[in-house]
Structure 1
Amino acid sequence: MRLSSVIAGLSAAAVAFQGVAYAVQGPAKSLLRPPGAQGEADFSARCIKCGKCMEACPYLALSPAPGDQGIAAGTPMVDARAQACRLCEDFPCVEACPTNALRGIEGRSDVRMGTAVIDEDLCIAFQGMRCEVCYRTCPLIDQAISIDYRLREGDAIHSLFAPVIDEEQCVGCGLCVERCVVDEPDVAIRIKTDAEHPRTGA
């Protein structure tokens, strides 16, 4: 029997085992997955924790999920606040994946990591201060995020420069989260993963 056949058989067995484990334990807790993940159930069934995508990432944006994530521990995730995904044009993480846990990405518009959500109570732009950091840092500026210029309610003098997320265009890379200037008590923007908020056609 060829070595390649043995490896292929072991990989298939690993994928099957991961799928059973996922079904028993349930989805990981809102982990932000790399580009090319096709939903948490599919990703968890296919990922064999080989680390090749993490090695391939030129920005070190991928890290293993911590031990408290159960069966998902060791699988690749993005901590957007620490180091967001840069949406590389050639997507080396997807290219490096040997099991197709990451797949189907030809351009940035194909990525579906999640959706940015703004907490208007924490965002300083909604408090009347001008801040366009999330808007300016977005790789899909004026598509995934835009600025709504309007007068403050009950204030005829001052304007709001309010960031607005287009849920259909946002790919969830997390750059807005990494660069957000608010950090107390929490950042004013976060990524809601598709495990939390599945998107039609994702």
Structure 2
Amino acid sequence: MGKSNTDLNRRNFLKSGAVAVAAMAAVGAGVGYIKKVKGTDICKQNILRPPGAIAENEFIFGCIKCGLCVQICPIQAVKLAGINEALSYGTPYIDVREQPCDFSCDSLQCVETCPTAVLNFKQFEETGGNALTEYQKVHDVSDPSFNPFKVQIQAMKEAVKMGMAKVNEKTCLAVQGKGFSGTPRGKDFEGIYRSPDSNEKKASPLSNKTFNRDVCDLCVTECPIGEKAIVMDKDNGSFKPMVLEGCTGCGVCVMVCPTEKPSIIVEPLNENSHV
């Protein structure tokens, strides 16, 4: 082997060695950082997780970032967090302003497909079973029209607790006594959902839907859970959307809100375990 080739190989070896050392240092720093982060600090991350998410500090380290929940969601509501999200990098979340969970899959598919149970289906399975048992006590299940699946899935949807909606009274059109006419987010908006007041079998674009309301109430009428989650409260002649304990944090209300900056948001409840 010539001297020039020997020198070249030597330089390449030194370069690769330097890169390896730098990489090991970076990994070491990352490990050190992870060790220093307390569970309470992790829980402060303002990320809305998909249905069934366990406590955030357990979720962060239990999620294997496989992306199955992303792939199976029929409306593409579940996304994977980017590198700027620190410890949440590669884990699933939902941006409800752009694409909320409208439950139109009718089976909590993201939870069912999770291989590690950080999206825990067991709680929903039990809820559905209990709902069916109670239903059978007061209804004739021999009726050919009886569909046990509908009873179970409705109870499972209502058991979801991703977050809690919160109304900004300063900007809410209803509180100001204002109406709304038109398409809430414009014709170019790509978000989809299944409207509860229609006969839609699956989600359709919000941009295809128009509304004409004397007093804006879209957050109430478009909620997939209904009156258990949010109602329009009339107090002293004024209107105000009132969020109830039945709110699941699905975020449909946030997406359909027509104000430029949404007058209703969802605050994540991921500091609590749903197990």
Question: In structure 2, what is the Cα distance between the partners aligned to 1:171 and 1:72?
Answer: 22
1:82-135: per-residue Cα shift (whole Å, max 9, x none)?
Answer: 000022321110111110010132401221100000000011111111111000
Which amino acid is the alignment partner of residue 112 of structure 2? E
Structure-2 residue corresponding to 1:180 = 257
Instruction: Number of aligned residue pairs: give it.
Output: 172
Query: What percentage of aligned pairs have identical amino acids?
Result: 37
Q: Cα offset for 1:23?
A: 6.9
The answer for unaligned runs of 5 or more in structure 1 is: 1-17, 152-158
Structure 2 stretches lacking a partner, 5+ long: 1-30, 126-155, 179-214
In 1, Cα distance between the equivalents of 2:75 and 2:36? Answer: 32
Aligned to 1:101: 118
Partner of residue 42, structure 1 = 58
Distance 1:51 1:69 in 2: 16
- For residue 46 of structure 1, report the CA deviation from its aligned partner: 1.3
Instruction: Assess if the C-alpha contact under 8 Å between 1:22 and 1:44 holds in 2.
Output: no
TM-score, structure 2 normalization: 0.58
- 1:170, 1:77 → 2: CA distance? 18
Q: 1:64 matched to which residue of 2?
A: 80
- Partner secondary structure for residue 69 of structure 1: helix
Specify the structure having the higher radius of gyration (Cα). 2
1:132–1:161: 8 Å Cα contact kept in structure 2? no
Alpha-carbon spacing, 1:115–1:45, altered in 2? closer, same or farther (3 Å): same
SS state of the match for residue 164, structure 1? strand
What is the 5 A alignment of 1:110-189?
110-129=159-178, 130-151=215-236, 159-166=237-244, 168-183=245-260, 186-189=261-264
Q: Aligned pair 1:24/2:37, yes or no?
A: yes
d(CA) in 1 for partners of 2:42 and 2:159?
23
Contact 1:118 1:188 in 2 (8 A): yes
Secondary structure of the 1:86 match is: coil
Give the whole-Å Cα distance in 2 for the aligned partners of 1:32 and 1:52.
Answer: 17
Name the aligned partner's letter for residue 192 of structure 1.
E
Tell me, yes or no, if the aligned pair for 2:162 and 2:270 is still in contact at 8 Å. Answer: no
Q: Distance in 2 between matches of 1:78 and 1:94?
A: 14
Q: 2:109 aligns with which of 85, 89, 92?
A: 92
Amino acid at match of 1:171: T
Determine the C-alpha separation between the residues in 2 that align with 1:111 and 1:59. 18
Q: Is contact 1:62–1:78 with CA below 8 Å preserved after alignment?
A: yes
- Return the offset for 1:195: 4.0
Q: Offset of 1:149 from its aligned partner?
A: 1.7
Superposed CA RMSD: 2.3
Deviations 1:13-39 (A, max 9, x none): xxxxx9x94872631621010001022
Aligned twin of 1:5 = none
SS at match of 2:174: helix
Q: Deviations over 1:32-70 (max 9, x none)?
A: 100010221221121111000000100000111122111
Structure showing the higher helix proportion among its residues: 2
Q: Which amino acid aligns with 1:134?
A: C
Write out the 4+ residue segments of structure 1 that deviate beyond 2 Å after TM superposition.
20-26
Q: What TM-score, normalized to structure 1?
A: 0.78
